[in-house]
Each structure stands twice: as structure tokens, then as C-alpha cells.
Chains A and B, each alone.
Chain A
Amino acid sequence: MSGRPDRVPAYAQLPVDPSKPAHAAWGVFGDDDQVGTLNLIGADEVRDAARLVRRGAVFSLNWALELPDPPILGRRAMRHITIALHPGTDDYYDGFYPQMSSQWDALCHMPHPVHGGYNDPDLAPGRNGIEHWARRGIAGRFVLADVARHREHEGRGIRFDQSDAITVADLDATLGAAGAKLRTGDILLVRTGWMAGYEAADAATRRALSEAGQDLRTPGLEGSEEMAAWLWDQHIAAVASDCPALEVLPSGPWASDDPESTYDSYLHFYVIALLGLAVGEMFDLEALARDCAGDGVYDGLLTAAPLNKTGGAGSTANAIALK
């Protein structure tokens, strides 16, 4: 069985079954589920989100495929080969990482090193691929938390090239100031300002960011269980941000000489492996954020159609926001 339960348990009530790892949402949507929190979007949520579209304004959230340039976090630039047709052009890509620019993390992208993948303790081959989201599509209400703008107002502007951890208090304050309340099944968009900083950076700075590898410093959500619990307790279907990894960097076992010491401070392990949360990264929120600041409306309809690649570890974002 798979799907949305009548009542979504609180983080403190997880796991729903004592045989599952502590604070894992495994089994909440069924033991065989490979979709995760996107189950929280039902037809009613889609319809209600469509009603939020008042002006017919469309915002593409997809950064150019070749940004960041040069790529970061150890990925390499794709090669674009344009083929002459008679007359016309076709093209193909070599070395194309679906997660190199605006992107979704599939649930198979990041298992927990001790407990395993979402609903998948044995890491069975072929589980939790991006095709599970591609087949159903992603459509629902977005809420923008423009933390960059809020922190600027507070006189605590976020530096795009520093490890600035955005806290639960920052998120609550940002949403509170915007008068935006999260509802079950929402898609939370968190703007850190990283992309604006990157766009303004010169070529030497961009090269240095690329060469930093796993030591790259960026703002992002705090890597803590408190943050994971907050995200779960909003009962959101997805969270996406404009920074490289959703969470503050450096983080994770690759950025430490003592990988095990990072297990409790790496948000990806909590939210993807244990909670089944849909995570988006490097979404271009700039134009949308300007619009929201202009009219004071921070919600609308988001649609996204991930690449339908069986067993894919992620996808380009393919996301649009409508207001």
C-alpha cells in the first residue's frame, strides 16, 4: 500500500513502527512507497494552488544548464555537440549531470550510511529513482521564504561565499513577516541569495568556488535534527532553495576527516534518507522573489516535470512558478 495517510504523524511520533530507524518516516506512506513526501499533494491541493494564480505571471525557475560555470562540488562541464542536419540542427550532450544546475535530488541520491535509503534498509538496486516523481509530476502550492531579503532588512545580510547557517528561527521570522503560512503539501522555496551572489561574481571568484571542491562555503539551511524536525512538522511535500545543496556548506562526510562525526549534522541524511522529503537545489528564485516583494504575495502554483529516467539519481528542475 502506498499513498497519503489520514493523519500525518509529528516528527516526535516517528517512527510509526518500532522496527524502523529512529525518527524515520519509513512506512508513513506505505512500506513499499518510493515517492515520499510528494504523497502529501492530493488533488485538492493542486486545485487550491491553481486558484492562487491571479495575474497569469509565469516564472521559470531553471538556471542556464551550464551554470555554475565552471561546475562546483566536483562535477564537470557538459559538452554540447551540435549536429548539422540538411538543413537544420540536432544536438546531444556528453558528460551531462542532471544535477549540475537547477535540480531535484531523487530519493536514491542520498541513503543514510548506517540505516540505508528511504524505505530501503538493504539498498536494493533500482529503488527510489527519479522516475517515481516523473510519472506523477509535481504540482502544488509554493510558498517563498525570502530569507535573504528578510535577513538584509534585519541588518544581518547573508554572504553568498560564507557558511551562513539559516536557522528555524530565520525561517519562522521570514514567513511571519511575509504573512505566509505553510499548509500540508506545500512546496517551500527558500531564497538564500546565493545565486544572486554567484551571478555577480567575477570569473576568478567562480573558478575558486569550483576548485574548492567539497570545501565550498555557501549559505543554506542549518544541518541539524532541529531543522529536519521543523521541515517534517510543516508537512511540506518539497523544499527547494537557490543554493548549491539546500543546506549550509561545507557539510557531509566528504567534507570531513572524520566522516562519522558528520552523520548527525548532515541534513541530507535526515530529510532524504529518513524522511523521504523531496529536495530541490539551485532553483533560480530571483525574478520570482522580486515579484513577491513587489506585490506582497508569497504563494502561487508550482509545476515541475522531472526527467523520466528509470533509476535516475536526480533531474534537472524543469520547474515553473505561476502567480
Chain B
Amino acid sequence: MTALPSYAELPIDPSRPPGSAWGVFGDDDEAGTINLLTPERVLRGISLVKDGAVYSLNWELDRPDPPILGREALHHTVIDLDPGTDDRYDGFYPQVSSQWDALCHMAHPEYGFYNGRTREQITGERGSVNGIDHWARSGIVGRFVLADVERWRRERGDPIRQDAKDEITVEQIDATLASQGVELEAGDILLLRTGWIGWYESASEEVRRSLSAMPVPGMPSPGLSAAPETDPWLWDRHLAVIACDCPALEALPYEESVEGFLHWRMIPLLGLAVGEMFVLDALAEHCARDGRYDGLFTAAPLNKPGGSGSTANALAIK
């Protein structure tokens, strides 16, 4: 792949929205930054498998319980085959637990969907654009780097507040990575740990219910800052993916404006692959133990033509 433009060089021509990567991967592209996962980057991830330790990054499908952000609990029906059982889900939101946002999940309020696609082109059926099927067909495989911001903040006496809009800045991520002695490379899959899932697991039923009762723009929770410096930071590292253990990658509740809501910029404008509510605690413990914060990441999203998202279906291997 030829050198990518820097954020300052975006858009690649004046007919595209400001700050957008439209056309960088071709006008027909519907995969966004997943294009950066070349065979070389797959091999880079493979080269980091030293222990053969496998971590599932997938929270239980029934977490959070009760669901958050206005989604509902899936209804699980076990069917008696006599002998044996089959099963079926109704009201199953692929984004209810550990999950991917497809590029059709979020549009810019003025410019629309990634690479100029429109709402009318998103039917959810075959032929639907910017769907999760593009990532399902390619798979998501490469080098992960874990940024354990929760640990870094805790060790410097400033623990992340899990029940507040605690905004993690790009400076904090840089400092975390530096303290871990790991550097980002183009095409990386950045895993951002806030500690939110661990906190949620230990929260009382009453607290969980109160979180569920706060629909979009969401209950207070930590996450990436929506400040303007986040966009160039994300793009100029040429990340293929950013995934986190908090509900929405960015801190909640978001402000309903282009300036206040990172999703309206990073997904439709940059075509960035975003993962949310990935379970990172066991992986983070291993990384802290051996001091190695990178390894192989693989994920196979649900192959649903026109899907708005998917369960995470992700593993990290060290």
C-alpha cells in the first residue's frame, strides 16, 4: 500500500468533506481502515505469538444486564429436539454486548455515511452498503497493542472514575504506551482498557438498573475524549481498529453535536473500525505480568449482509 495521507492532508480532494478519508481506499470502498490489515500486518501479529496463550475478548451475550443504551435483552428459546436441543434468539441486538460498529452504524449529520453513502442505500438486505459483511468476508487479523490506561491512571494516583464522564485524552494514551514500553505501528489494532467492565461486574443490581434506565446519550462512563485532537491522533497512527472495554469507546454521555460526538466523525469521516465492550481484564493481567503489550488479534464478525454491527467474536493470542 502506498503511503497514506496524514490527517492534515485530508480530504484528498476538495470535493470531499473536511477531515474525511473518503476516497483514500478508493471511491467504491466500504471497508475503511480494515484495508490496512495487509498480509504483512497479519504476519507481524503472528510473529508475536510466543506463549500460545489464548484470550477470549467476548463478554457474555447477556451482559450488560439489564442492557444499556436503549437496547433490550435477547430472548433465548431452547427447543427440545428429543433427543437434543436447538435454540433460537429473538430480539437479538448484535451490539448488545462485546461488539463491532459497522460503517453503516453511524452517519455524519451533514455529510452522511462513509464514502458518501446515503441512508437509502442501507436496506439491511443484500446490496446494502457499508455493512458488517465487508469485515466478515475479510476477517480482522493483525497486531494488537493494549493500552492499559486504567492501570496507568491508577498507578499515578488518579484512578479512572467509572460512573462519571471521565475523558481519556490522547496524551494519556501516549503516556500509557510509553510507560509500557510499546510503540504503535501502522495497521495496529489498539485495545484501550478503561476498567469499565470489571467495575460493572462488581456493581450492585441497583446500580446496573440505574445505568440501564439512562438511554442515549447514555449513562456517565469513561472513554475516549471527543476533543478535536483525537481525530488526527487516531488517523495519523494509521490504526486499523480501536476497541475498548467501555460502552461506547468515547466517554458518555456524549453531546449531540459534531464537536461533542466522536462517533459522528471517526466512523463516517475516517472509516475507522470501532469495537466496544471487549473484555480486556485477563489479557491485561498477562501483559502486566510479562511486560509484553502486543500480540495477535483475530476476529470474525457475523457475516450478515447489511448488518449494522456484530458481536465481537474476537481472540487475542500471546
Contacts and interface: CB of A to CB of B under 8 A. Distances in A.
A290 interface: no
A111 interface: yes
Contact of A305 (B71, B83, B299): B299
B61 A309 contact: yes
Interface stretch (A9-17, A135-143, A223-231, A235-243): A135-143
Contacts, number: 232
B85 A109 contact: yes
A62 B305 CA distance: 12
A244 interface: no
Interface residues of A, number: 76
A111 B83 contact: yes
Contact of A82 (B49, B95, B106, B308): B308
Interface string A82-112: 1011011111111111110110000011111
Contacts of A311: 76, 78
- Interface size grouping (class) on chain B: 35 or more
A113 B83 contact: yes
Interface string A46-59: 11101001111111
Interface string B51-69: 1111111111110000000
B58 A89 contact: no
A203 B221 CA distance: 50
B133 A64 contact: yes
B122 A89 contact: yes
A42 interface: yes
Central interface residue in A66, A92, A102, A113, by most chain B CB within 10 Å: A92
B90 A89 contact: no
B309 interface: yes
Contacts of A99: 86-87
A44 to B, nearest CB: 6
Interface stretch (B6-14, B134-142, B232-240): B134-142
A170 B64 CA distance: 48
B300 interface: yes
Interface string A303-322: 11101111111101111101
A161 interface: no
Nearest to B132: A91
Given A42-B52, A91-B308, A313-B87, A137 B315 contact: yes
Interface in B102-156: 104-109, 112-113, 119, 122-125, 133, 136-139, 141
B303 A314 contact: no
B52 A108 contact: no
Contacts of A112: 83
Contacts of A80: 124-125, 304, 306-307
Interface of B: 37-43, 46, 49-62, 71-72, 76, 78, 81, 83-95, 97-98, 104-109, 112-113, 119, 122-125, 133, 136-139, 141, 263, 296, 298-300, 302-309, 311-315, 317
